[in-house]
Structure 1
Amino acid sequence: MRIIAGKHRGRALASVGKGDAAAHLRPTSDRVRESLFNVLAGGYGDPAQGARVLDIFAGTGALGLEALSRGAATVSFIENGRKALGLLHQNIALCRAEDQTRIFKADARRPGVNPGAPHDLVFLDPPYGKGLGEAALAAALVGGWIAESALIVWEESAGITPPDGFQLIEERKYGDTTIRFLERIA
């Protein structure tokens, strides 16, 4: 795994190694991440630039750190897996991004109230096929984590049902991964 573009282009991230089956770590591949950010830059006016980014089910943090490399102002990570938190801390240090990032050790389905400004760009990458994305997105909305008109990028293999307050704009399929783009609606 590496950062694809921006100021940290080519930087290798900490290896998941053999992984931890219980941790459900499934980092977004470099190819899918590159395609995703190309879609964002081409069709959505490069929403990472200057954005406050929220990475829910952050895992290794590759999506949020890619956004930071491409010009995001800050990234907040929500993660509670022990193995994932260790990798996340390593990757933030590798990118020397401690001043631009915050880690919230919390269950993504119950993140609590956001202590800061709401986020403009949200990455949501729950464990596949467990229906956790809907609960996490609804809880993030209630907790004030998501700004009005925010763009949500949801990676999932199964079908989804956007919670109230969100509208599906587009979806793209990459192998067994489907990336869906949603927007927060009033």
Structure 2
Amino acid sequence: MTRIVAGFAGSLGLQVPKSGTRPTSDRVREAIFSALESRDAIRYARVLDLFAGSGALGLEAASRGASTVTLVERGSAAAAICRRNAAAVLQAAPAAAKPTIDVAATTVQSFLAASTAEFDLVFVDPPYELSDDELVHALKTLEPRLSAEAIVCVERSTRSGEPDWPAGLLLDRRKDYGETAVWWLSVDQPLRPSQPT
């Protein structure tokens, strides 16, 4: 059973697609969110969950205080489950602090190409069979949608090796959890010329 770990929807059970997705384990999700909370990176954040599956990562952020969450999932059955899970999370939310949760039933590339929104926290948890080239292409398309202080968490198999990250993203760290590797990326800020005094 996949559950929301903490926040206003803590312990709420989530539906999971029967096939075609690989849900992040509660243990890995708890470790990721503990690290994010230590950085104060969740409260009021604009969150994007790419390859959302059940939506567990984005909905965990919603439960912990994110202001907006967008779940992107191209599979129609999985997108329907994302909508049901989002509705359950919103039902548990306090009236004074309801986040906005949207589900986009489309491909990651189509969503990113059309979006004009800006995001502070992005989860990228693609199927393990997605090639590194496809992953890097998605990250390049994502770059213009990131705020200056954005954090991007990429989840891959430990057997996949390190992708060639796009020039606009910096690798902060990697943390392994069994068969799962989580890569933490930040926005590469170009040096600005010093201002005259």
TM-score interval, smaller chain: 0.7 to 0.9
Name the TM-score, length of structure 2 as normaliser.
Answer: 0.83
Q: Percent identity?
A: 36
Q: Following superposition of structure 1 onto structure 2, how do residues 1-186 of structure 1 map, counting pairs within 5 Å? A: 1-16=2-17, 19-20=18-19, 23=20, 25-42=21-38, 45-96=39-90, 100-111=100-111, 112-116=113-117, 118-131=118-131, 132-141=134-143, 144-157=144-157, 158-159=160-161, 160-186=163-189
The structure with the largest alpha-carbon Rg is: 2
Shift of 1:99: 6.0
Q: Pairwise CA RMSD of aligned residues?
A: 1.7
Task: Determine if contact 1:54/1:119 at 8 Å carries over to the other structure.
Answer: yes
Shift of 1:174: 0.4
Aligned residues: 176
Name the TM-score, length of structure 1 as normaliser.
Answer: 0.88
- SS for the counterpart of 2:85 is helix
Shift of 1:109: 2.7
CA offsets, 1:133-155, max 9 Å, x none?
212111122xx422222100110
Structure 1 distance, partners of 2:124, 2:99, is 23
- SS for the counterpart of 2:48 is strand
Structure 1 distance, partners of 2:62, 2:87, is 13
**Gap runs ≥5 in structure 1:** none
**Gap runs ≥5 in structure 2:** 92-97, 190-197
Specify the code of the residue in structure 1 equivalent to 2:36.
L
